[in-house]
Structure 1
Amino acid sequence: MENKVFTYLEFALPIHNCVTIPELGGFIVNQEEPLHHIDANVCVPGYMITFNPDLKHDDGVIVSYYIRDGKMTYNAALQKIKDFVKGLKQELSTQKPVSCGRLGSLYMNKEGKLLFEANSSFVFPSLYGLTAVGLSNLSNINRRESASRKSFPIKYTLGSIAAALVAMFLFTVPSANVSNNTGLQGAITQQSGFIYSLAEQVKPLLEADSVKVLETKVESKEPEAQPQSLRTYYIIVGGEDTQSRAERLLDKIKKSGLQSVNILEAGGRFRIYVASFSDKPEAEGFLDTFRKENPKYETAWLYSKRN
């Protein structure tokens, strides 16, 4: 049996959180809150996959993968999915479980109801590599901070002593008889010559550093190129096979109160969308708000299209 449907489902479910296989049912992702207790670990948040056999409408997600990979029309892709579901139900009617890839398995009970058993070892891409985090008592943290603060004065004291010794070495003038002006002036002249020579050697280095700093400041003024989004995300509320039927549906939706709706043609399918975004998190946030404010369109879904 062709298993492309479950391959696409495994890839699309972590992205859309709810994916429907036409005439079979919908697979939904529910996030479980991470467990945390005092003197314990904070566990990695988990996801639970559930199955609802009552969600049988076509949300266009699986179909879009068939259209993209098989380079076929919408109707041809939908027919492939229907043929797959028909064969799947025949196999399930024998009371044998059918594997859904790494997501779990489907089976039919004696009453003829479809049930889904999720695979507990399946790891979602967003959680890959995460491990539990240990917690520390506040009293232990305070003790470590106190020990660190006590060690600072010793370090600074040693540094101050070293700095004082260096200063004494640099600024101490060789001893000479005060009454001997010639010897004193010679010592001062010799030390002044040393300081002047040192300054002449350091000057080119300082000038070079100044040039580098100026060049760095000038380069920092150049604006960085902003990356362009490679996909556009549409909030879909309906779809039709032909443009004429899509236009009639568009008029019906406008009369119901939604005015900012348009038609998107892609892969031989005409979809009605209420908004479009270049940022996926922004589109998902709008979709959640739109569903809550418009219960009539609670089945609205997110469609991604390459620019």
Structure 2
Amino acid sequence: MTKLDRHIEILLLENDCVIVPGLGGFVAHHVSARYDEQDGLFLPPYRTLGFNAQLTMNDSLLAQSYVDAYDMSYPEALRQIENEVNEIYHTLENEGFVELSDLGKLATNSEGKLEFEPYESGILTPMYYGLSSFEASQIMELGDDNHATLALSDAQEHKSKLIYIDNSDKENKRLSISLHAVRSVAAAAVFLTAVFLVAFPGSTKNGMSERQIKSGVLYNLFDSSDTSKTSVHFKPLRAIATTDNTPTKDVTDNPSHYWAIVVASHVTELNARTYVQRMQKKGLEDARVYEGIESLKVLYGYYASQHEARKQLNAMSGMTFFKNAWIIEIDK
């Protein structure tokens, strides 16, 4: 499966146009707040997405995102994008459409041209996060004396934002669900899930720190397995009083330079220690908590070389703890 949709979604947080070379450009449009007379709701502003197949010239924005995320060269990033675009065209040829996660559906029409249908809930937009719809009654004039009074339909009197039960027909009750409200709740849930995903660390190359993608809270949407070349300097976690009888290893007795397996990163101290205890109960005694420059990490093992660490990781890849693990070099 391609990774283009995740890169496009993140780049659209700070850009209104993302061009995919050889495919087309995805352009964000702002939609102002509006009133839905049918549902009696004021709806907040949001951003929707359009597609222009004529925008195929490479502006380097997407390629640079691949370079920063996967620690690859610029030509390698272009080849990766080209391969994923070819995969999209292959899927379009066989199935007629492609689902782009959290963006919309790309399909071909009867003339063989590309058409894009965005999701009605819009795309992630931090500036609009937390804005929700609200009900507002209509003011209407009634009678010959032209006095103003509050007029509400029977449906609006009993309807909630999500579910409405029509009791007008005693024999046949009807249940209605507001699809727009459901989509708004789903969009908020997707954003909160993305915020709390674990972010993987930045990498260094040739002694120079590489620029990370600006939207750091969503950085972990990329595969952590692509960061196997990361090298970070760590210091031992400070001692903390605990009443847990679970044995822990004395970090000072271990070699100062070695390779280890990263089981989890960017977690709280409490969660990290709990995770280590679970691993040690399963017989994984070399599990421990380390505090790096950027975040807390759960490490496993001490290996003299990257090859030895990779060999051990491959041997333990079937275990749940090591499903998304990767290799890191420790140099105290």
Q: Which has a greater percent of strand?
A: 2
Larger radius of gyration: 1
Normalized per residue, which structure has more helix?
A: 1
Q: TM-score, normalised by structure 1?
A: 0.41
